[in-house]
Structure 1
Amino acid sequence: MEAPQHDRHECDAAVSLAFSILGKRWNGMIIDALGDGPLAFAEVRRAVPGISDAVLSDRLAELAEAKLVSRTVAPGPPVSVSYALTVGGEQLVPVLADLGKWASANLTPAPRRD
């Protein structure tokens, strides 16, 4: 049986698209934080130390647009908003864990320039 043909250009485009989303600072950490279940905005902010409210808001919107995160508004009072991984986002959790293991084993961090 012959192995399926690999379309390099199609694969490159898919990988480029994935890294255009996952390569942005904080997105991997946000996905990781939501890996244990839905969180409110403030809970995500606490789980991702150092991120500003504005950047977190932007990143959550981008991840929602990419269909990796869902946003649910529960009527109040008070109104509450929670964020959760979609099925596609959940499928990324083990991929990111494997990528982290690979990076730890194969990449040397650049020296800090303080």
Structure 2
Amino acid sequence: MADKGKHQGTEACGRVSDGITQVFGLLGKRWTGVIVASLMAGPVHFADLRRSISGISERMLSDRLVELGAAGLVLREVDEGPPLRVAYRLTEAGAALEPALTELGRWAEKCLLKGEGTC
């Protein structure tokens, strides 16, 4: 007789949707969610964005911004200057992440930041 505490097999675990797989494939990368959250308030110049995210390198920030641009979430805008400056802003699709990121932030404050790992 099988123990009820044992794993139930694949029937007990549903298949993860393609959408969730894609979301976490992109936003689950280190720094990506933080970058999107930093751009929620509006366009930000590269140097200001770099300063606002403690611990991120210029190279990593640049790479993640390129990925977010390719995914259609961020636009790169060049201010002709002088001096020449580059700013980034969220597209409509990127800005549509705000409710989800807000809820994730609330969940983290409630469940992770207390240090207990429980809600």
Coarse TM-score class (shorter-chain normalised): 0.7 to 0.9
Write out per-residue CA displacement over residues 11-53 of structure 1, whole angstroms, 9 at most, x where no aligned residue: 7001100110110111111111111110010011011110000
Offset of residue 74 of structure 1:
2.1
Identity of aligned residues (%): 45
Corresponding pairs, count: 102
Aligned match of 2:77: 72
| Structure 2 unmatched ranges of 5 or more | 1-13
Runs (4 or more) in structure 1 with deviation over 2 Å come to: 102-110
Provide the residue aligned with 1:94 in structure 2.
Answer: 99
Task: Kindly state the Cα deviation for residue 67 of structure 1 after the two structures are TM-superposed.
Answer: 0.7
Q: How does 1:43-58 map to 2 (within 5 A)?
A: 43-58=48-63
What's the CA shift string for 1:50-106, capped at 9, x where partnerless?
A: 000000000000011111110011223321111001111111122111022224434
SS of structure 1 residue aligned to 2:37: helix
* Structure ranking higher on relative contact order (CA contacts 8 Å, 6+ apart): 1
Matched, 1:23 2:28: yes
Which is higher, the Rg of structure 1 or of structure 2? 2
Please, which runs of 5 or more residues in structure 1 have no aligned partner?
1-7
Match of 1:59 in 2: 64
Q: CA deviation at 1:109?
A: 6.0
Give the structure-1-normalised TM-score: 0.79
